[in-house]
Amino acid sequence: MAGYRAIRVAELIQAEIADLLLRQLKDPRLTMTTISHVEVSPDIRHACVYVSHMGSEAEQRAAVAGLLHAAGFIRNQLGKRLKLRYIPQLDFKLDTAIAYGVRISSILNTLTLSNTSEDTDSSDPHARWRSSC
């Protein structure tokens, strides 16, 4: 488990990269891209930046490629903004947890809807007779 300092540095890196995405990076591949979270190694030499992007798989891969292309610029800007002895090497990865959560939620909703329709049909045998009267 990472120490408290590594967690604080990860939060700072996430906030600064999000600000860079909003204000300074003008790559069209990076529109609708958010930084979901950052994991920093205990020695703060490496950072894994998880990115979520709304769009197709090709657009998501293009967004990660755009961030990898801009990694040098982002690291340079982090060096200017953060007062750290070492600026971590940045590794950008696609975060699929949000899409996975949406998929599970939709499956649960369909199961819930099918169970409620079965419950109304089978719970009261006289329900059809009452509704026809």
Q: At 116, list the tokens.
A: 């409620």
User: Domain 4-95: what homologous superfamily?
Assistant: K homology (KH) domain (3.30.300.20)
Give me the residue spans of the domains in the chain: 4-95, 97-133
Scanning the structure block, which residue is given the tokens 């090709």?
58
Dist CA 131 CA 63 (whole Å): 55
What pLDDT is attached to residue 100?
Answer: 85
Dist CA 46 CA 3 (whole Å): 14
Mean pLDDT of all residues in 27-33: 90
Sheet containing strand 33-40, edge to edge, reads 33-40, 46-53, 89-94
Residue of 39, 55, 31 whose CA lies nearest to 2 = 39
Q: Encode pLDDT of 43-80 as tens digits.
A: 999 999 999 998 889 999 999 999 999 999 999 999 99
Dist CA 79 CA 44 (whole Å): 13
Amino acid at 88: P
Dist CA 128 CA 133 (whole Å): 9
Q: Is the entire prediction scored with pTM above 0.85?
A: no
